[in-house]
Each structure stands twice: as C-alpha cells, then as structure tokens.
Amino acid sequence: MPPDRRGERQAALRVALEGEGLDGLLVTHLPNIRYLTGFSGSAALLLVRPDTTTLITDFRYAAQAPDEAGGAAVVEVDRKSVWERLGRLLGEHPAAVLGIESHALTVRDAERVAGLTRGRLVPTADLVERLRAVKSPEEVDAVRAAAALAQAALAELLPAVRVGQTEQEVGAALEAGLRRRGSEWHPFPTIVASGPRTALPHARTSPRPIGPGEWLLLDFGAQVDGYCADLTRTVVVGARADERQRTVYDLVRAAQLRALQHLRPGMTGREGDALAREVIAARGFGEAFGHSLGHGLGLEVHEAPRLAPTADPPLPLHAVVTVEPGIYLPGWGGVRLEDDVYLGPDGAVLLSDGRTELVELV
C-alpha cells in the first residue's frame, strides 16, 4: 500500500496560507481537490482552514466522497446547494481573510462567495499548483505506468496503419487500444494528423485519408490513478522517407536528445528550452519551432513547471515534464517527438521509452 501523503500535502498548504496571511483557502480547481483529498468527482468545494479540511459536494457523490476522502477531510453532502452549505460553514466559523483560486473561480462565483462571508476575499495564484509540481515517488510511478500503457497501445496500432485510412479511423483504433489497456480516460483530445496537416501543432483529427509517403503525427496520452502521460511520435506511411523528411526528422531527434542528456533540476525553464531550441535554430529552422519545449505533467496534462523561452523560475527537483521539440513547415508538414521525464538528482530520467528512431510503415 503506497503511503498516504494527503496529510503532509495539507500541512504544506497551511504553511503557505500562513505565509500569505490567509485564514483559509477555498479550493475549487478539481485537480487540486483530488490532490489534497483523493476525491475524484466532478463537483466539489474544498475549504481548507488552519485546523480543518471540509469537502462539500452534492447527492451524486454521497457514497463516493466519504470513501475516497476517508480521514483526509470532513465530508459535507448538501442535496440542495453546495454554495448554501459553504455559506453556513463560513457563518459558523468566519474567516477574516479567505483566499480564492483566481485561475479557477469565475467572477460570478467569486461574487457569490463574497456574499457568503463577512471576511475579505483575496485572490491567490498557484498555492496548490506549486506543491503539485514536486512529485512523490508514487506520482512518478503513476506517470510511468500511464506512459507504458500508451506505448503498448501505439505498438499494437502501428503495424495496422495503412495508406487510405483516415485520421479519424487511426485515432479511433488508438483510443480503443488505450481504453482496453486500462486508461481511465484520454487526458486531452488525441491528435492524429497526416501529410501537410502535420504542420499544425494542435491539429484536429479529421476525415482526411493518409497518402503514400506522408507524415503521420500521433499526439496522445493515457491516464492511470488520475495521472497523465503525454507522448508524440511521427512516422512515415506507405514509403521510405525521402531526403528532406529524413533531414528534418533527424534534426528534431537530435534536439530532443540534447535536451534529454543535459536537462537538470535547478536550471531555469528558459535554459531547459534552449537546450533543444539552439540545435534547431543553428540549422536555420528556429522560426519553425514556435511552441515551448515542454510542460509539467501530473493530475493535469499541462501543469507546472514550464520549459519555455519566457520561463524564468528554476525547474524543481522531482518534477515531471515533457520534452517535445518540433519543426513545422506549412504546406509540407511537420515533425514532433515527445517523451515524459522525471527530473531527479542526476538529471532527466525517461518515464516513457524514448524510442524515437524513424519508423517507416511500408
């Protein structure tokens, strides 16, 4: 049985609240609620006070919430309105200064909370997210398991891919393979793009048939125990790669390899991004790599920290991030390779397989 870390997570949050001068925090971002209590439902409010943690939910989760939260929170189930129950709690035990998650609470709901308390509301930023950026061994293992599941689904899929199949058909087969292997859900809409559409970094999977000798880009993930994996592979379908395809592919692969070899906790996100970006820019393709190198990975597919030209904070020890350089040439196509890594004391450790040799499905 893995250790229960919810108590230490809540204790760390309370230290942060004290440092911010807050008497409590209303947590509304569902991944943060799951991180702090274990509750995985779709509707809840979490009130964290110096001496109590109260989870408020509705009738749909009357059985699930106590089972998942256990002793990590007092569970309040309200059949009418979670907001009315929050108001009663704040009336019984007022908070002079109550923090709210500014990125997660709508203006309308913030106004609603203001009407429920006599105290002052203070917008906060990333109090729980900063804790989530540093992963426990169990969290790292969950991402690793999700990556292994995703890789197994890809290995089953690729031998069956043929010229003439549509992107949607390939996507359906891949997603079915993920679910058969136990993925709880798809962490994001699966991207399957072919031919010139691979130049669209976030292409929507379409009815387009795959042509001979074309790129096929697959960006997909899996979810295990709530934790996400995020992988991208680019292959050639129906022919051997031509010289230009091989040149671009080898350059993206070299950029990713440099980042994987030299990425370290403690360097800034900007420095981490530059490891791959410098390789691509030196060959004249800098303008064709327009997105950041990577992002944190955990209960959400995009979370802290970031590897980007604008990311100045240092990368934490024990973070999990993606490394995904790409080159995108409109009208021709694009290549992206993405793996998931753990930032340990000795550098980046692959959680996915890192098998990025060029695959030609002929």
What φ, ψ does residue 332 adopt, rounded to 5°? -115, -50
Q: What backbone torsions phi and psi does residue 323 show, to the nearest 5 degrees?
A: -130, 105
The answer to whether residues 146 and 188 belong to one domain is yes
Position 362 scores a pLDDT of 96
- End residue of a domain, out of 132, 163, 185: 132
Region 283-310: what's the mean pLDDT? 98
As given in the structure block, the two tokens for residue 146 are 């999700």
Q: Is residue 342 part of a domain?
A: yes
Rounded mean pLDDT, 177-190: 96
Q: Which of 91-100, 205-214, 272-281 has the lowest mean pLDDT?
A: 91-100
pLDDT in tens, 107-153: 999 999 999 998 999 999 999 999 999 999 999 999 999 999 999 99
Domain end residue (candidates: 115, 132, 149): 132
Contact 46, 30 (CB under 8 A): no
Dist CA 308 CA 38 (whole Å)? 31
Pick the last residue of a domain from 109, 132, 155: 132
- Report the percentage of the chain scoring pLDDT > 90: 98
pLDDT at residue 2 in the model: 85
CB < 8 Å & 24+ apart, contacts of 81-89: 82/43, 82/44, 82/45, 82/56, 82/57, 82/58, 83/45, 83/112, 83/113, 83/116, 85/56, 86/26, 86/45, 86/47, 86/56, 86/113, 86/116, 87/116, 87/117, 89/47, 89/54, 89/56
Residues 219 and 234 in one domain: yes
- pTM reported for the whole predicted model: 0.96
Same-domain pairing of 267 and 125 = no
Q: Does residue 165 share a domain with residue 270? A: yes
Q: How many domains does the chain have?
A: 2
pLDDT band at 276 (very low <50, low <70, confident <90, very high): very high
pLDDT in tens, 76-90: 999 899 999 999 999
User: How does residue 228 score in pLDDT terms, banded at 50, 70 and 90?
Assistant: very high
- Select from 312, 309, 297 the least CA-distant residue to 267: 312
Query: Where residue 267 sits, what CATH number does that domain have?
Result: 3.90.230.10
**Domain housing 69:** 6-132
pLDDT at 346: 95
Buried b (16+ CB within 10 A) or exposed e, 151-177: bbbbeebbeebebebbbebbbebbbeb
- Asked whether residue 71 falls in the same domain as residue 143, the answer is no
Question: According to the model, what pLDDT value does residue 188 have?
Answer: 96
Average pLDDT (166-184) is 98
In one-letter notation, the amino acid at residue 255 is: A
In a domain, 1, yes or no: no
Answer yes or no: do 128 and 169 share one domain. no
Please state, rounded to an integer, the average pLDDT across all residues of the chain. Answer: 97
Do 144 and 71 lie in one domain? The reply is no
In a domain, residue 179? The reply is yes
Crossing angle for the helix pair 243-262 and 269-282, to the nearest 10 degrees: 150
What average pLDDT does this structure show over 169-188?
Answer: 97
What CATH number is associated with residue 52?
A: 3.40.350.10
Q: Are 60 and 161 contained in the same domain?
A: no
In a domain, 316, yes or no: yes
Asked whether the predicted pLDDT for residue 1 surpasses 90, the reply is no
Same domain? For 155 and 87 the reply is: no
Q: Clarify whether residues 214 and 159 are in a common domain.
A: yes
User: Across residues 13-39, what is the average pLDDT?
Assistant: 98
